[in-house]
Amino acid sequence: MISAEVEKALAAQINQEFTAAYNYLAMAAWFDQESLDGFAHWMQMQNQEENMHGMRLFQYLLDRGGNLELDGISKPRTEYSSVMDVFQSALEQERENTKSINKLYELAGSLNDYATKSHLQWFLDEQVEEEKSIEDVVALLEKIGDDASGLLYLNDKMGERSAEKEE
Ligand code: FEO
């Protein structure tokens, strides 16, 4: 049986994943309104990934016989000053999420909850990828600066992202 502490922390993490999904959806809408369809598409893919992360934890908690009372999702930020502003915000969100997964892993370890640790292993690896992919975009945006043609080129590239298959 899963401990009440881990149950509570998993519920909070589920909320965090769906909050991230909603934030990415708001970012997709922002890009769409800026006529940057490639970036909008990329953010929609990101939204799908976060939903999948939330569902992985959701199913895991239920499979362990845990109780789950879903919490509310707060209103996402909808105003951004630039493409870079959006990606800085996304990066901050991912870094916070990494911290949260690490804490959860630590908690599971301190309670000798090996199954939860094992389940979280996938998330630890995923966070490395998530942070890297956004850091790469931030680095490219820095290079592009005020060059509109560079930004449009990147917009095209971002539009090529395909949905990730769940492992
Ligand atoms: Fe679910 Fe982007 O971490």
Domain boundaries, the chain: 4-158
| pLDDT the model gives residue 93 | 98
Give the atom of ligand 1 at the shortest distance from the alpha carbon of 94. Answer: 2
Model pLDDT for residues 129-159, shown as the tens digit of each residue = 999 999 999 999 999 999 999 999 999 999 9
Sign, CA dihedral 136-81-155-41, equals: positive
Mean pLDDT of 8-27: 98
Is 4-158 in CATH node 1.20.1260.10? yes
Q: Whose CA is nearest to atom 1 of ligand 1?
A: 50
Give the atom of ligand 1 at the shortest distance from the alpha carbon of 49. Answer: 1
In this structure, the residues whose C-beta lies within 6 A of any atom of ligand 1 are: 17, 20, 50, 53, 94, 97, 130
| pLDDT the model gives residue 166 | 62
Six-digit token pair at 63?
């499979």
